[in-house]
Amino acid sequence: MPIMRKEKPAESPQAYVDALDGWRREIVDALRAAVLAAGALEERIKWGHIVCFSNGPVLLIRAEAARVLFGFWRGRRLTGIEPRLRPGGKYELATMAFVEDDTVDQSLAKALVREAVRLNAAVGDPTKAGEDR
């Protein structure tokens, strides 16, 4: 039986983007531009994709073979801004998926990021026990 090897994660968010091409690169570039324009977040590679932090994890950008995910740790609280956010996973995680031919609404993406950062500031790190209120 062959041994499956995990790919080595990108060394930086820019290296993550540089490894992409085509429509996935365009979507990730657009999401990342909106995120970086929306506020002071610490951007790094965690769990193999881009994760941005402000008082704990705020959001993720993950390119997959058939989609790009834009997710928020407090995303369930953001559905009033963006109803396409779908709950799933731990904490209050919710994500929206982009596929080929989709476009990124920069003002909407920035609004989501600003509100997600505000929620982490007000409620605390979403990964800490007892913080989800």
Whether 8 maps to a domain, the answer reads no
Whether 100 maps to a domain, the answer reads yes
**pLDDT (mean) for 51-65:** 97
- CA dist., res. 41 & res. 77, Å (int): 19
Whether 132 maps to a domain, the answer reads no
How many structural domains comprise the chain? Answer: 1
Contact 46, 11 (CB under 8 A): no
Residue 88: give the domain boundaries: 13-123
Q: Tell me the CATH number at 90.
A: 3.90.1150
- CA dist., res. 120 & res. 101, Å (int): 32
Whether 130 maps to a domain, the answer reads no
Better-scored residue on pLDDT, 21 or 90: 21
Whether 67 maps to a domain, the answer reads yes
Whether 97 maps to a domain, the answer reads yes
Stretch (H or E) spanning 27: helix 22-38
Tens digits of per-residue pLDDT, 34-43? 999 987 899 9
